[in-house]
A and B are shown apart, each in its own frame.
Chain A
Amino acid sequence: MLERMQILICGGTGCRGSHSKEIRAEFERVLHEMKLHNEVQLVTTGCFGLCDKGPVVVIYPDETFYSHVSVADVAEICEEHVLNGRVVSRLVIKDSVDKQKVKNFGELKFYAKQKRIALRNCGNINPLEIDEYIGRDGYFALGKVLTEMKPVEVVDWMKRSGLRGRGGGGFPTGQKWEFAAKSSDPIKYVICNADEGDPGAFMDRAVLEGDPHSVLEAMTICGYAIGAHQGYIYCRAEYPVAVERLNHAIAQAREYELLGRNIFGSGFDFDIEVRLGSGAFVCGEETALMASIEGFRGMPRLKPPFPAVKGLWGHPTNVNNVETFANVPVVYLKGPEWFKAIGTAKSSGTKVFALGGKIANTGLLEVPMGTTLREVIFDIGGGIPNKRKFKAVQTGGPSGGCITEKSLDTPIDFDNLIALGSMMGSGGMIVMDEDNCMVDVARFYLDFTVDESCGKCTPCREGTRRMLDILNKICRGDGTLEDLDQLESLGNMVRDTSLCGLGQTAPNPVLSTLKHFRDEYLAHVVDKVCPAGVCPNLTNYVITDKCIGCTKCAKNCPVGAISGSVKQKHKIDLEKCIRCGACKKTCPVNAISSKPEDWRAVVNG
């Protein structure tokens, strides 16, 4: 059966949340009704990366990229595009970088600078069909490895590729495999760390949901390389779709004898099981992860001994991140030199980023290492919406630091980001503009780590809690200069004495904002003013002369603090105002400001 048209419907997180399942069901219904269902193949794929533009529907063979599709649009697409070959131009994506409609998928500036290796199959295949994975060279790498290569060669290729861990640590993967391979213990394990926990990170989720077989194939290759016969995927329970897809993929791979005994007739046995996390960010730390699999409370253990020597149940274990594994098959398909040639000298390959915050193209992107931050944020991300000014970009999630305007031309790689006082992390990249308060940002991240601290060691358990107390105190307006000193010294102490990576990196957002945005902290504690206009106790809202009297703000104010008649400049009663910011959000002409330069005059008479 040859279909003349393929309709790809994005089944990634964001699009699913916006009813892409219902969109598919509607396509099925309408196409059946129009008796076109035999001519058109519907494919639900993994994430396309342009999450802000979802729900995404891409039509092949003409590569039309539709964005913000709703269930109500389906009938028109079927009638106009499928039946009559006419593109529905109102649904064609308007690229935030081009700032104009771009019909063809391949011409989108969003993808121009990207190189999708880990995400190679996301958006291109139905993740529920192993045949589609195989159709795109899936399992060929494993076949080659098992039938043509010795384990020591496999390790060697991985070393030559220069692939470094994509979970945040950036440790050379080849070296890690070599450590585990060296041990003579007959029992070894491969673990895939799928406990993606950074707030705002969903790179691993896209791979697990959109291309689960890539992980299975990679783990099997790793098992062969190090001498392990059992793999575990530790997946956070908050990703039920990923868990389902993984189990489905495992069953299919077993059916095709690409998993289990005597794979490819090579005599090599390897099997994989999924294990669920239970809602603890700390279980993304490899020793806590292993404790959790063993049935204990997820608390990290001291290293050394390292997992490659003494890991799961005391046996040598290799732990790698989902994205790291997603890259593995490609190294063996295309060769280590091909991989090494991409990226920078010390950081080869690409990195997937989950771009979020004040950015036009929220979503997933994958770029070669060495791409600059400016290129990612402006050329791919589409820059800051609403004509606001860039202020900082946070990489590495709650473990990372803020990077300012002056460093935007830094080529992204592991070492450069550390030199800037941040880190690569797992790939979360949050952009901030002039309306973000950096003290509040630090507080947000610290609030997360305080909640997620396991409680085992004193500095993280008590120190981060005290740091958060101080930040809350500062944002409340009760901060002092001594508080800033204490914040800094506590931060240094927690970083230097914590038992695991969670505590060791928890102070980073605080310390980096203290360094780069000290003036904001000083404004909070000395002037008792929030320069960004965020912290409720330290800000005021004022309506400027730009007001057109549309009354939208007054209607949206939850406490009725705004007065004014139609077409007249409105006024905010600061006694009633709770500083929620609802008015500012609804104003169609940006006439409401919480910036000190605008409200100082009004407040001080």
Chain B
Amino acid sequence: MDRLVNVSIDKIQVAVPESATVLKAAEAAGIAVPRLCFLEGIHEEGNCRVCVVKIEGQKGLKPACRTQVSDSMSVKTNTKEVYDAVSSNLELLAGNHKFECWKCSRETSCEFLDLLRRFSVDNTFSNEEVFKHKDRKLNESSGAMVIDSSKCVLCGRCVSACEKYTGLGILNFNRRGSKTYVGPALFTNLEDAGCIYCGKCIQACPTGAIREKDDIKALERALRDPSKTVVAQVAPAVRAALGEEFGYKPGTNVEGQLFAALRVLGIREIIDTNFTADVTIMEEGTEFIGRIRNGGTLPMFTSCSPGWINYLEQYYPEYIPNLSTCKSPQQMAGALIKTYYAEKLGLDPKSVVSVSIMPCVAKKAEARRPDMGRDGYRDVDIVLTTREIARLIRHRGIKFQELDPIKPYGNLAKYTGAASIFGVSGGVMEAALRTVTELLEGHSTPIEFTEVRGLADIKEATYKVAGMDVNVAVVQGGRAIGQFLEMMKKSDKQYHFVEFMGCTGGCINGGGQPIITAPMQGKFDIRERRAKVLYAIDQGSSFRKSHESEAVKVLYEEFLKEPNSHLAHELLHTRYKKRDVYSK
């Protein structure tokens, strides 16, 4: 029984459950105790010592985030002693920090900067030569993510987040004492250390110590190159979250303003990744039906999440034959941009700069895979995360809230409802089912397959299709991927089609999405809010099945001929390879 107890915080009386912490009790009293390393449900070690408070009758100061309340406990959060102690700790952290706030990826969401401002911390130690102890540990070689110890406050949140979300233990504390640094063992390059680039660590980091590789300058250069034409594509999940960067409530669809902003930035050719999401369903659906009819490898695994591909290639390469050979919608779009679209625009593909706006950090590495291009050019040249495009829009002084929404012109910006839900876990599966069931049955089949929706790590369902029991599963997040594959190995159940996503929630919770800072993370589930946007777009679409898309029909008629054709295979399909971890 969790009885209520009376606690006094800064002389304010509150009644809270006995199991509550002082931090929660303070919240109930309307007091926001400063905090840094506490990340609810992920990292609760009480090691930063920023949340220390004075508890009457107890020696020293105690961490509010992990100290349980007791009846008639009296707490002071803001005495001179507490204030000086917290300031002192922040001052020490500041002394190791390389301040580049104006160009830092966390310019508007840095929890450390917020604390420094709150306590007006002096930059006492930064300039003293004699106090320099930490060598900067910087790893940028993955091309997707950056680890930078010069911004690290050693809170440990990333270590815990990686452990919780993937179970791969890519990050940990190395060495000890003041020489401690966070990173893979011996600071091995991320690409060699088994990382899948899901970016949960970035979402957990309070500063810019772990961040996406910043490619904003690459876009700026391309826009100013008179010999180049920039063509941009935008992923489904971006429109559901970008608004958060400009003060919109989480769960607001800002699609029209997003496209308008790209136009204002100077990008004239804009297409929608949603279009190729529909194309992906055509290609993958056909591939799946082929495997069913011709005894191909089953279950078939989806292949649009590069975080998931990274996981499979490094940890379960024996399942490579199960992967669909389809590229992701990003890469299909890139291939079509450089061939089909460039031709239409009368442009040499080498003069086209293909840019994608993605909720994902792993996409940066995906774009550089060897198969993703031909004839000396890449299908996607630059990948920008939702956060980077937001920064660029802000830096250019564009008033996002005041933009009039626009819709890009042309077939390559048209999409069905099925495409829009690609950004949610279960969305690819549902989109595929809408088309595959209809093709197999030969007549109209349901639009909604709600069993595959939702936040559960592993979802399963069975559908009767053309006299067959089709067993499907939807898996989200690194940890669940490992669990599911191990379970599948031991199980007798024959699965037919499994959707895998590297991020829980799907792309809407991708490593490149707007950061929800720690104090907010405990308050609501961002995945639900963003998912609502995409399901709403789906609901409001006139066409909700990929094969109903006129634009897709035109593409095949004019260019690809039919799904899985020779040309489709050449441009829209790929190969996978076993990758070793810590082999160098």
Contacts and interface: CB of A to CB of B under 8 A. Distances in A.
Of the listed residues A282, A450, A497, the one surrounded by the most CB atoms of chain B closer than 10 A to its CB is A497
Nearest to B36: A458
A433 B95 CA distance: 38
B496 interface: no
Contacts of B47: 456-458, 499
Of the listed residues B61, B84, B153, B178, the one surrounded by the most CB atoms of chain A closer than 10 A to its CB is B178
A457 B48 contact: yes
A408 B581 CA distance: 62
B322 to A, nearest CB: 33
A466 interface: yes
Interface stretch (A8-16, A177-185, A231-239, A487-495): A487-495
B61 A461 contact: no
B173 A455 contact: yes
Interface stretch (A210-218, A297-305, A347-355, A534-542): A297-305
Contacts of A496: 52, 60-61, 81, 85
Given A456-B47, A466-B92, A497-B60, A451 B85 contact: no
Given A297-B172, A301-B45, A497-B89, A455 B125 contact: no
Contacts of A454: 176-177, 180
A463 B177 CA distance: 11
A458 B177 contact: no
B102 interface: no
Nearest to B159: A297
B66 interface: yes
A597 B346 CA distance: 93
Given A457-B49, A462-B96, A302 B180 contact: no
Interface string A473-505: 100001000000000011001011111000010
Interface string B50-66: 10100000001101001
Contacts, number: 100
Contacts of A463: 88-89, 92
Interface string B222-233: 000000000000
Of the listed residues A299, A304, A451, A465, the one surrounded by the most CB atoms of chain B closer than 10 A to its CB is A465
Given A302-B46, A455-B154, A466-B92, A497 B177 contact: no
Nearest to A495: B60
A337 B153 CA distance: 53
Nearest to A454: B176
Contact of B49 (A455, A469, A498): A498
Contacts of A297: 172-173
Interface residues of B, number: 36
B61 A458 contact: no
Contacts of B180: 454-455, 461
A459 interface: yes
B85 A458 contact: no
A280 interface: yes
Nearest to A503: B49
Contacts of A504: 60
B183 to A, nearest CB: 13
B178 A453 contact: yes
B84 A493 contact: yes
B175 interface: yes
Of the listed residues A297, A302, A455, the one surrounded by the most CB atoms of chain B closer than 10 A to its CB is A455
A452 interface: yes
Contacts of A495: 60
Nearest to B133: A465
Given A462-B92, A462-B93, A469-B131, A493 B176 contact: no
A497 B52 contact: yes
A490 B178 contact: no
A86 to B, nearest CB: 58
A452 B89 contact: no
B49 A458 contact: yes
Interface string A299-328: 101101000000000000000000000000
B477 interface: no
Contacts of B156: 456
A461 B85 contact: no
A463 B95 CA distance: 11
A302 B95 CA distance: 26
Contact of B45 (A302, A455, A473): A302
A556 B251 CA distance: 80
Interface string A91-113: 00000000000000000000000
Contacts of B48: 457-458
B89 A493 contact: yes
Contacts of A497: 49, 52, 60-61, 85, 89
A456 B93 CA distance: 13
A465 B133 CA distance: 9
Contacts of B178: 450, 453, 455, 461-462, 465
Nearest to A468: B178
Nearest to A500: B47
A190 to B, nearest CB: 26
Contact of A466 (B46, B61, B66, B131): B131
5 contacts: A302-B46, A463-B92, A466-B95, A489-B84, A496-B85
For the complex of A and B, the 6 pairs showing the least CB-CB separation, nearest first, are: A455-B180, A462-B92, A453-B177, A465-B178, A496-B60, A457-B47
Interface of A: 280, 282, 297, 299, 301-302, 304, 450-459, 461-463, 465-466, 469, 472-473, 478, 489-490, 493, 495-499, 504
Given A455-B177, A455-B180, A466-B92, 20 more contacts: A280-B176, A299-B173, A304-B68, A453-B177, A455-B173, A456-B45, A456-B47, A458-B50, A459-B49, A459-B88, A462-B93, A462-B178, A465-B177, A466-B131, A469-B131, A493-B89, A496-B60, A497-B85, A497-B89, A499-B63
